């Protein structure tokens, strides 16, 4: 990778109650996308794919925002389906799936939704076959907005966390029912890609600052992640903000991520959790690269059929 940039923009903030993207959220996102546009221009990028997910899928003014982004930055965002989002997440991080013969679940906790994908993989590290999947409209932003931010007392924080877990578990119920048989396999595996799992992995490692090399591909005991989630859920927002690798940007959202993770561990009780600092972005890159390779093979085959001349005229 030559260049990278990320920023927490909370595009879906307030969407759960208003049904619309707020002006403040759109401005934050446009500011970040302007930086992305500058990077694309400086790197002379000629082939790119840019996507928008749950916030723009749900928002009444999602298409208007997409057009505004195009006009102000030149970036053409494609609002992808939940199914495509799940597929890209699997494509981007499956290589980090722990070795084993049992079924696996790959999940992506986003801002506005969470995708769960049951996959069947082989030892050759090929892209695993998707057996089942589900997307629910609970991400760290949408769940936080819906449940509220009242954390005045420890009792209130405990009740708030319990409510979050309950709401997510209810949404996961159809998927949980379908994968119940597979979950009883003695060798189930679990891989997560999201800011939630990378943040909790950083806390597990007690990193003074975030280190992608230390986190990406890490395997953590599930019980350790549950313990970290439990501790974060009773902390005050200020206490969470002072922790390394959380800070102010994630302090109000990480508890919702913990609640979603707990619900996932309840329905898919793997002993270990794989951590991926890669996902949709890498899935898009792999898709583009695969399409380019296919195009080159097709062109080569066409040249071979026509004696090395694509136009069809006799070669000289």
Q: Which residue has the tokens 């990378």?
A: 198
Phi and psi at 298, nearest 5°, equal: -65, -40
Q: b vs e for 96-115, b when ≥16 Cβ sit within 10 Å of the residue's Cβ?
A: bbbebeebbbbbbbbbbbbb
pLDDT above 80 for 23: yes
Among 2-11, 103-112, 210-219, 232-241, the range scoring the smallest mean pLDDT is 2-11
Among 53-67, 227-241, 288-302, the range scoring the smallest mean pLDDT is 288-302
pLDDT score of 122? 64
Mean pLDDT for the stretch of residues 282-311 = 75
| Integer angstrom CA distances of residue 309 from 273, 295, 299, 312, 313 | 53, 16, 10, 6, 6
Separation CA 223–CA 217 (nearest Å): 18
Q: Helices 195-205 and 222-234 meet at what angle, rounded to 10?
A: 100
Is pTM beyond 0.85? Reply is: yes
82-278 under CATH 3.40.50.300, yes or no: no
pLDDT score of 168? 98
CATH fold of 15-80, please?
Nucleotidyltransferase; domain 5 (3.30.420)
Cα-based torsion angle of the residue sequence 155, 222, 144, 134 in order, rounded to the nearest 10 degrees: -140
Kindly report the average pLDDT of the chain as a whole number. Answer: 91
Mean pLDDT for the stretch of residues 294-302 = 73
Per-residue pLDDT reduced to its tens digit, 70-110:
999 999 999 999 999 999 999 999 999 998 888 999 999 99
pLDDT-based confidence at 186, cuts 50/70/90?
very high
Q: Which residue has the tokens 């799936």?
A: 97
Per-residue pLDDT reduced to its tens digit, 222-270:
999 999 999 999 999 999 999 989 988 889 999 999 999 999 999 999 9
Domain boundaries, the chain: 15-80, 82-278
Domains 15-80 and 82-278 share a fold: yes
pLDDT-based confidence at 124, cuts 50/70/90?
low
Indicate the pairing of strand 50-52 with strand 77-79: parallel
- Which helix (H) or strand (E) is 308 found in, with range? none
Query: Residue 129: helix, strand or coil by DSSP?
Result: strand
Mean pLDDT for the stretch of residues 195-207 = 96
Say if CB 143 and CB 252 are below 8 A apart.
no
């Amino acid at each position: 990778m030559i260049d990278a940039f990320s920023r927490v923009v909370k595009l879906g903030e307030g969407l759960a109650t208003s049904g619309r993207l707020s002006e403040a959220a759109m401005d934050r996102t446009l500011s970040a996308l302007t930086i992305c546009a500058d990077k694309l221009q400086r790197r002379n990028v000629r082939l790119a794919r840019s996507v928008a997910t749950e916030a723009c899928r749900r928002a009444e003014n999602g298409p208007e925002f997409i057009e505004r982004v195009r006009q102000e930055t030149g970036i053409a965002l494609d609002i992808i389906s939940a199914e495509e989002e799940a597929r890209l997440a699997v494509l981007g991080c499956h290589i980090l799936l722990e070795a084993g013969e049992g079924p696996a679940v790959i999940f992506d906790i986003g801002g506005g939704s969470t995708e769960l994908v049951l996959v069947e993989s082989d030892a050759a590290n090929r892209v695993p076959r998707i057996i089942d999947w589900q997307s629910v409209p609970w991400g760290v932003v949408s769940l936080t907005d819906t449940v509220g931010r009242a954390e005045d007392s420890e009792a209130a924080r405990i009740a708030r966390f319990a409510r979050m877990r309950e709401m997510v578990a209810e949404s996961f119920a159809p998927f949980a029912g379908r994968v119940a048989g597979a979950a009883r396999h003695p060798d189930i595996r679990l891989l997560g890609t999201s800011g939630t799992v990378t943040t909790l992995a950083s806390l597990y490692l007690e990193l003074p600052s975030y280190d992608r090399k230390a986190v990406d591909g890490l395997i953590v005991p599930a019980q350790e992640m549950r313990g970290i989630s439990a501790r974060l859920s009773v902390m005050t927002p200020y206490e969470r903000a002072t922790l390394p690798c959380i800070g102010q940007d994630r302090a109000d959202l990480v508890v919702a991520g913990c609640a979603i993770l707990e619900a996932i561990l309840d329905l898919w009780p793997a002993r270990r959790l794989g951590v991926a600092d890669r996902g949709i972005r890498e899935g898009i890159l792999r898709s583009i690269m695969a399409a380019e390779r296919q195009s080159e093979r097709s062109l080569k085959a066409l040249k071979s059929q026509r004696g090395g001349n694509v136009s069809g005229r006799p070669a000289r």
